[in-house]
A and B are shown apart, each in its own frame.
Chain A
Amino acid sequence: MKIGVLGIGITKFGEIWDRGIRELLLDSQLRALNDAKLTPEQIDSIFTGNMCGDSLSGQLHIGAMASENLNLDKPSIRVEGACASGSIALRQGIAAIESGAANIVMVNGVEKMTDVSTDQVTTALMGAGDEELEGFNGLTFPGLYALLANAYMDKYDLTREVLAEVSVKNHYHGARNTYSQFKNELTIDDVINSTMVADPLTLMDCSPITDGAATIIIANESIAKKMNTEVYITGSALATDTLSLARRKSLLEISAGKMAAQNAYKQAKITPKEINFAEVHDCFSIAEIYAVEALGLAKQGEAGKLYKEKQTYFDAKTPINTSGGLKACGHPVGATGVKQAIEATMQLRGEAKERQVKNATIGVTHNVGGSGATAVIHVFKRMK
Chain B
Amino acid sequence: MFRKSPIIRWRSYGDRYKLHGHKCTKCGTTYFEKKGMCICGNLEFSEMDFSGEGKIISFTQIHSGPESFSEMAPYCVGIIELKEGAKITAQIVDCKYEDLKIGTEVEAVFRKFYKSGEKGIIHYGTKFIPKL
Residues of A within 8 A of B (CB): 55, 118-120, 122-123, 126, 131-140, 142-143, 146-151, 154, 195-200, 244-247, 251
Of all chain B residues, the one with the shortest Cβ separation from A246 is B87
Most chain A CB atoms below 10 A, which of B70, B72, B79: B79
B62 touches A244 (CB 8 A): no
B: residues with CB less than 8 A from A are 1-3, 9, 12, 32-33, 35, 57-70, 72, 74-75, 77-79, 87-91, 97, 102, 113-114, 123, 125
Question: How far does the Cβ of A150 sit from chain B's closest Cβ, in whole Å?
Answer: 5
Would you call B33 and A143 a contact (CB within 8 A)?
Answer: no
Q: In the bound complex, do residue A138 and residue B62 qualify as a contact, i.e. CB atoms below 8 Å apart?
A: yes
Query: How far, in Å, is B19 (CB) from chain A's closest CB?
Result: 13
Does the CB pair B33–A138 fall under 8 Å?
no
Cα–Cα distance between A244 and B3 once the two chains are bound (Å): 18
Partner of B66, one of A119, A196, A251: A119
A197-B63 Cα distance, complex, nearest whole Å: 5
Contact indicator A146/B60 (Cβ below 8 Å): yes
Cβ–Cβ contact B58 & A138, under 8 A: no
Are A143 and B77 closer than 8 Å at their CB atoms? yes
Interface contact tally, CB-CB below 8 A:
106
Given contacts A120-B67, A123-B67, A251-B79, contact A245 B59 (CB under 8 A): no
Contacts of A120 on B, CB cut-off 8 Å?
67
Which chain A residues border B35 with CB–CB below 8 Å?
A: 247
Q: Can you name the residue of chain B whose Cβ is closest to the Cβ of A200? A: B60
Do A245 and B79 have beta carbons less than 8 Å apart?
yes
A246 engages B70 (CB within 8 Å): no
A119 partner residues in chain B, CB cutoff 8 A: 66-67, 70
A122 to B3 CA separation, bound complex (whole angstroms): 13
CA distance A142 to B73 in the complex (A): 14
Q: Which of A119, A136, A147, A196: most chain B CB closer than 10 A?
A: A136
A-B residue pairs in contact (CB < 8 Å), sample of 20: A118-B64, A122-B67, A123-B66, A132-B12, A133-B88, A136-B123, A137-B125, A138-B75, A140-B65, A142-B62, A146-B62, A149-B60, A150-B60, A154-B58, A198-B62, A198-B64, A199-B63, A199-B97, A245-B89, A246-B89
Which of A122, A135, A150 touches B58 (beta carbons < 8 Å)?
A150
Q: Which chain A residue lies CB-closest to B65?
A: A138
Q: A132-B33, A139-B89 are in contact. Are A147 and B59 (CB under 8 A)?
A: yes
Residue of A nearest to B68 (CB): A138
Once the chains bind, are B77 and A151 in contact (CB under 8 Å)? no
Instruction: Check A138 against B66 for contact (C-beta < 8 Å).
Output: yes
Chain A residues with Cβ under 8 A from B57's Cβ?
151, 251
Q: Are A147 and B58 in contact (CB under 8 A)?
A: yes
Is there contact, CB below 8 Å, between A138 and B87?
Answer: no
Closest chain-A Cβ to B81's Cβ sits at a distance in Å of 9
Q: Is the CB of B58 within 8 A of A148?
A: yes
Which residue on chain A has the smallest CB distance to residue B79? A246
Question: With the chains together, A244 CA to B90 CA distance in Å?
Answer: 12
Contact, CB under 8 Å: B87 / A247: yes
- A288 vs B90: C-alpha distance when bound (angstroms): 26
**Which one of B1, B2, B59, B62 contacts A150 once the chains associate, using CB atoms below 8 Å?**
B59
